[in-house]
Structure 1
Amino acid sequence: MPPPSPWTKPRTKPLWVALGFVLTGLGFAGLVLPAFPGTIFFVLAAAAFAKGDPRWEAWLLARPVVGELVRDYREGRGMPLRAKWIACTSIALAVSLSLGRIPVLAGQVAWVLVGLAGIGFITLWVPTKRSPTSRSQG
C-alpha cells in the first residue's frame, strides 16, 4: 500500500479549506465580472473542500447556481447554450474595450489571440448542455 499523500494529511486540511474559500470568492467574482471565469474557480474550490473537509464541499454543492455548475462539470454535461453565448460575448466585449489600453501592437495581437482562444475553447471544447425540454422532444 503506498504511503499517504502529504497533501491529504490532517495538518494540511485547514489549508485546503482556506484555499477552497479563496477559490469560492474568486468564483463569485466571476459570476458578476464580465470576462472573468467563475465556474472553474467553483470546480477547484469543490476539489479543495473535498480534500479539506467534505462538509464544506457539500455546502458549496448545495448553493443554488454554484452547485449545479460544479455537478454539471463533474458529470461532463457542459454549459447551457445561453451561458456559452454570454461567456463568448463577454470575452469579445472585454477584449474590444481593453485594446485601446494596450500601447504595443504585439500586445494587442496577443490579447486578441487570448480572447479568441477562450472563445474557441468554449465553443469547440466545452460540451453544450441540453435542456430538459430538448431531450424530451427529440
Structure 2
Amino acid sequence: MRLLWIVLGWGFMALAVLGVILPGLPTTPFLLLAAWAFHKGSRRWALWLEQHRLFGPLLRNWQRHRVIPRHAKVAAIGMMAVSLTYLTVWSSVPGLAVAAIAAVMLGSASWMLWCPSARPEPVAEEAGDQPDGR
C-alpha cells in the first residue's frame, strides 16, 4: 500500500510540474495532492517536498495557515482566463466541453478567492486580560 501512495505522489507531482509549464493546468491542487499522498506513503518524500526550493514555501503556507498568496491567485486565475479565451475563440473544442471546462475553472477560481491571501495577524491581548493583572 505504501508503494501505491508513493506512486500517486509522484504522479500528482508530475502534474504539478506540468501545471507550472502549461497554461490551464493548475499547479496548486496537484501539489497539495502530492503532499497528501507522500505523507501517507513516505515521510522522506514528504519532507523533500516541504523543503523544495520552488514548491516548499507555497506548500508550507498552505499547511500552516491555509493561505494562497495573492500573486499565486492572480497568476492562476489569469492563466485560466487566457486558456478559456483560447478555447472559446481559436480552438475547435466543442461548446459543451468548453462549458464543462469553464465550470471547473469557475469553481477553482471561486475556491481560490475564498481562501485567505495572507497569514492572520496574531491577536494582541487586551490590557486587563493578562493573568498577572497588568
Q: TM-score, normalised by structure 1?
A: 0.73
1:112 aligned residue: 102
Are the aligned partners of 1:91 and 1:118 in contact in 2 as well (CA < 8 Å)?
A: no
Letter of the structure 1 residue corresponding to residue 35 of structure 2: A
How far does residue 67 in structure 1 lie from its aligned partner after superposition?
1.2
Does residue 30 of structure 1 match 2:15?
no
Structure 1 segments unaligned to the other structure (5+ residues): 1-11
Are the aligned partners of 1:102 and 1:108 in contact in 2 as well (CA < 8 Å)?
A: no
**In 1, Cα distance between the equivalents of 2:52 and 2:109?**
27
Does residue 86 of structure 1 match 2:75?
yes
Does residue 50 of structure 1 match 2:39?
yes
2:131 aligned residue: none
SS of 1:68 mapped into structure 2: helix
Are the aligned partners of 2:87 and 2:93 in contact in 1 as well (CA < 8 Å)?
A: no
Q: RMSD between aligned alpha carbons?
A: 2.1
Structure 2 segments unaligned to the other structure (5+ residues): 122-134
Show CA shifts across 1:97-124 (max 9, x none): 111435654544444343333322222x
How far does residue 76 in structure 1 lie from its aligned partner after superposition?
2.9
Are the aligned partners of 1:77 and 1:129 in contact in 2 as well (CA < 8 Å)?
A: no
Larger Cα-atom Rg:
2
Structure with more helix by fraction: 1
**In 2, Cα distance between the equivalents of 1:40 and 1:105?**
26
Identity of aligned residues (%): 31
**In 1, Cα distance between the equivalents of 2:3 and 2:60?**
24
Does residue 70 of structure 1 match 2:39?
no
- How many residues are matched? 119
**In 2, Cα distance between the equivalents of 1:103 and 1:67?**
36
- Call closer, same or farther: CA 1:18–1:113 in 2, change over 3 Å: closer
Are the aligned partners of 1:60 and 1:67 in contact in 2 as well (CA < 8 Å)?
A: yes
Q: TM-score, normalised by structure 2?
A: 0.75
